[in-house]
Amino acid sequence: MLDLNKDVKYVKSVGPNRVKLLNKLNIYTLKDLITYYPRDYEDRSKPKNLYECVDGEEVLIEAMATGRILEMRKGKMVISKLIVKDQTGTCYITWFNQGYLRDKFQPGRMYRFFGKISNKNGRFEMNSPVYDEIDQSKNTGRIIPIYPLTYELKQGTLRRIIESGLAEVKGNLPETLPDYILKENNLWNINLCIERIHFPKELSDFNKARERLVFEELLTMQLALLKLKNNYERDTNGIQFSKDAKMSDVINILPFRLTKAQLRVLEEIDRDMESNKPMNRLLQGDVGSGKTVVAMIAAYKAVKSGYQAAIMAPTAILASQHLESFQGILDELGIRSALLISSVTKKKKEEILEKLKNGEIDILIGTHAILEENVVFKNLGLVVTDEQHRFGVKQRSTIASKAKNPDVIAMSATPIPRTLALILYGDLDISIIDELPPNRKKIETYAVRKNMEERVNAFIRKQIDEGRQAYIVCPLVEENEEMGLKSVTELAEKYQKETFSNYKVAYLHGKMKVKEKDEIMQKFKDGEIQILIATTVIEVGVNVPNASIMVVENAERFGLAQLHQLRGRVGRGEYQSYCILKYEGNGETVRQRMKVMCDTNDGFIISEKDLELRGSGDFFGTEQHGLPEFKIANLFEDIGTLKKVQKIALEIMEDDPLLEKEKNKKLNELIKEKFSSRIEI
């Protein structure tokens, strides 16, 4: 019997040293090995005549050895030279420190060589090519897969190990998708796919193989989420919060009137909270749409029903800000809120933990620190995660596990197109705040190039002289060093000492200590700092109504969704606000992206465009969206497949909500295998 889970060390040609290297690539089993997919291919199947070879290209030649290898020494280096010939020319081949090649080549025999060729005035040379005898195709003569990271493993070695693995499973992989799915969607069977994804016979094979593997991966993910949702819906052991705990108690004392959208969302939450099904709801709303107050009102209802609430934010700054908002309203209703972030003193922390256990704290607001094991609630009933896209499913379930079946609200300011929402949050119900509070001014946005710098700086000075404050955002410190971009510190220095020497300038980045960051942020809030230079740490949630200018350096490096988030830091007060995107590069896509930002303030439109305009080679990849990691699928490239898969998944689920039918047995097994270790299905 074929055992896909057997240790990779039992695969032929894998010794103890190689096991270690394979493990570094997260390859532990035979299955891991054969599903370590290539990232690219090199066509070494079509030989060229020497006279056709262009200087600098990688080519395959078939040529005869004219003599034996000649060896020379240069210091410690061994240089091996071989002269080969085809009907059209002669090529001089050189290897370095490959003494073992000495007797490899017989005069008069034909060989294949693949490598980079140089042509200097009709003299062809190749350095260190790979080679085969003419009737072999170990390294040449076919389309060769190129694997992603290999660490110390050579491409050729890994390729041979994978070939051994493939030989072991040859034709015997159990089919993972039901027959009807394969037929209806015209997909290749698993055996053919796995073989051809590594060794396509034609380059088009690769597309066909990849299509099915992507299809399967996305379908599995989508079905798992939908099934999870169907499971929740059957669960009647959720907390029923009290009908007597009235949200209107808070609504009536707010300093503003809630928008229609906020009220609608609160109704949905109220209904969920009073029902016996556990709530699992995503609350989506553009930056500034007023999600915090919604969370606060839900938390009030939980507390008034005799439970505690936990609010988890991705940064200490944000958590502190939430505490401030909550206390500003809820203190007068006798609700006790507290803050738990990693910078609180040990003594203070002990006190908080004690009170939390006794029920003397009603609402705990904090960062990841809340997830720690020693944080124990008396009876936690509601969990809210802010900026949900920063927290994975796992963290959501860790915090939820501190309570018995709590209600959960996940808030996100990253508006995402429906297609992505379904694959990201398919297990959740979705509420959307699609309206901003009244009287918000549109943030005027301008995209400018380097030659406008002086005008931009003059404009910033003018705004500050009128009493406003400015943010200047630049890409990450670490990335800068490599990319040769301005690093925050360097830029801060230049701005401090030269450009804005008459103003108070400070900088903030992710590598600073939490305490330092908080101090600076506080000073900015208090108006003691006029220009804050920062990395994207200020992206989420920070609220400084007096700040009216957001400058983004190297804006082309950011995703649109992220630029939109950044822009949301201004326009929070009564002042007309501005966003200035400084960009470099002439690409059409870059220009279009900048134009989208200037044309609209609507996060949903922006996210749709982002998806449309983004290539797979995008600098920030999928990280900022918090998209799940896929082995082969790429949500941006494979959006077409994703849409198709979602339609199919919804149809399957409609027909068979818990995947119990015989024909769907394989699907059920697939999602169990992929996800059971992470989430309960």
Residue 469 near residue 546, CB atoms below 8 Å: yes
Does the footprint of ligand ADP cover residue 290 (CB under 6 A)?
Answer: yes
444-448 and 407-412 as β-strands: parallel, antiparallel, unpaired? unpaired
Nearer to ligand ADP, 89 or 603 (CB): 603
Q: What is the DSSP letter of 681?
A: -
- C-beta nearest to ligand ADP: residue: 290
Closest CA to 263 of 303, 290, 287, 301: 290
Question: Half-sphere exposure (CA, 13 Å, Cβ side) for 101?
Answer: 23
Examine residue 285 and tell whether it contacts ligand ADP (CB under 6 A). yes
Among 162, 287, 380, 597, interactor with ligand ADP by CB under 6 A: 287
Q: Which is nearer to ligand ADP, 265 or 645 (CB)?
A: 265
Among residues 359, 437, 527, 628, the one that binds ligand ADP under rule CB under 6 A = 437
Q: How far is the CB of 268 from Mg ion (least distance, A)?
A: 18
Our finding on whether 566 is near ligand ADP (CB under 6 A) is: no
Structure tokens at 637: 């490239």
Look at phi and psi of residue 244 and say left if phi exceeds 0, alpha if psi is from -120 to 50, else beta. alpha
**Among Mg ion, ligand ADP, none, what does residue 293 contact (CB within 5–8 Å per kind)?**
ligand ADP
Which residues are CB-neighbours of 388 under 8 A, at least 6 positions away?
282, 396, 410, 411, 412, 425, 626
150 lies in the site for ligand ADP, by CB under 6 A: no
141 contacts Mg ion (rule: CB under 5 A) = no
Assigned token pair, 509: 């980045």
* Residue (of 588, 472, 608) closest to 534 by Cα position: 472
Minimum distance, C-beta of residue 260 to Mg ion, in the bound complex (Å) = 19
Could you say whether residue 413 binds ligand ADP (CB under 6 A)?
yes
Tell me if 288 contacts Mg ion by CB under 5 A: no
3-state SS string over 552-617? ECCHHHCCHHHHHHHHCCCCCCCCCCEEEEECCCCCHHHHHHHHHHHHCCCHHHHHHHHHHHCCCC
The β-bridge partners of 552 are: 473, 581
Angle between helix axes 639-655 and 418-425 (nearest 10 degrees) is 60
β-partners of residue 78 are: 73
Select 82 or 287, whichever has its Cβ closest to ligand ADP.
287
Applying CB under 6 A, does 603 fall inside the site for ligand ADP? no
Query: Residues in contact with ligand ADP, total (CB under 6 A)?
Result: 17
Q: What residue spans of 331-382 are helical by DSSP H?
A: 346-358
- Using an 8 Å Cβ cutoff, are 528 and 521 in contact? no
289 binds ligand ADP, rule: CB under 6 A: yes
What binding mask, one character per residue, do residues 446-485 give for ligand ADP by CB under 6 A, x or -? ----------------------------------------
Least distance (Å) from ligand ADP to the CB of residue 285?
Answer: 5
Judged by CB under 5 A, does residue 541 bind Mg ion? yes
Question: CB atoms < 10 A from the CB of 234, how many?
Answer: 9
Least distance to ligand ADP, CB of residue 419, Å: 23
Stretch that binds Mg ion, among 235-243, 508-516, 539-547, 612-620 (CB under 5 A): 539-547
* 292 scored as a contact of ligand ADP (CB under 6 A): yes
In the complex, what is the shortest distance from the CB of residue 520 to Mg ion, in angstroms, rounded to a whole number? 20
259 versus 367: smaller Cβ distance to ligand ADP: 259
Select from Mg ion, ligand ADP, none the partner in contact with residue 305, using the beta carbon and a kind-dependent cut-off of 5 to 8 Å: none
The interface partner of residue 511, options being Mg ion, ligand ADP, none and the CB cut-off 5 to 8 Å by kind, is none
- Binding track over 499-538 against Mg ion, x by CB under 5 A: ----------------------------------------
Among residues 321, 225, 305, 234, the alpha carbon closest in space to that of 273 is found at 305
Contact map string, positions 28 to 67, toward ligand ADP, x by CB under 6 A: ----------------------------------------
Q: How far is the CB of 321 from Mg ion (least distance, A)?
A: 9
Q: Which of residues 486-525 bind ligand ADP (CB under 6 A)?
A: none
CB of 308 to ligand ADP, least distance (A): 21
Selected binder of ligand ADP within 159, 196, 198, 291 (CB under 6 A): 291
Q: Which residue has the tokens 């034909």?
A: 110
Which helix (H) or strand (E) element contains residue 642? Answer: helix 639-655
Select 221 or 269, whichever has its Cβ closest to Mg ion: 269
Beta bridge partners of 95: 80
Residue 385, beta-bridge partner list: 312, 410
Residue choice 89, 200, 278, 288 for contact with ligand ADP (CB under 6 A): 288
Q: State which residue, 94 or 327, has the beta carbon closest to ligand ADP.
A: 327
SS3 469: strand
CB of 166 to ligand ADP, least distance (A): 51
Q: Which of 29, 150, 222, 259 binds ligand ADP (CB under 6 A)?
A: 259
> In sequence order, what DSSP letters do the residues of 368-430 get, joined into one string?
GGGGSTT---SSEEEEEESSGGGS-HHHHHHHHTTSSS-EEEEEE-S---HHHHHHHHTTSEE
With binding defined as CB under 6 A, does residue 256 bind ligand ADP?
A: yes
CA 389 to chain centre: 9
- Residues 84 and 113: their CA atoms lie apart, in Å, by 10
The site for ligand ADP (CB under 6 A) is made up of 256-259, 262, 285, 287-293, 413, 437, 541, 543
The site for Mg ion (CB under 5 A) is made up of 541
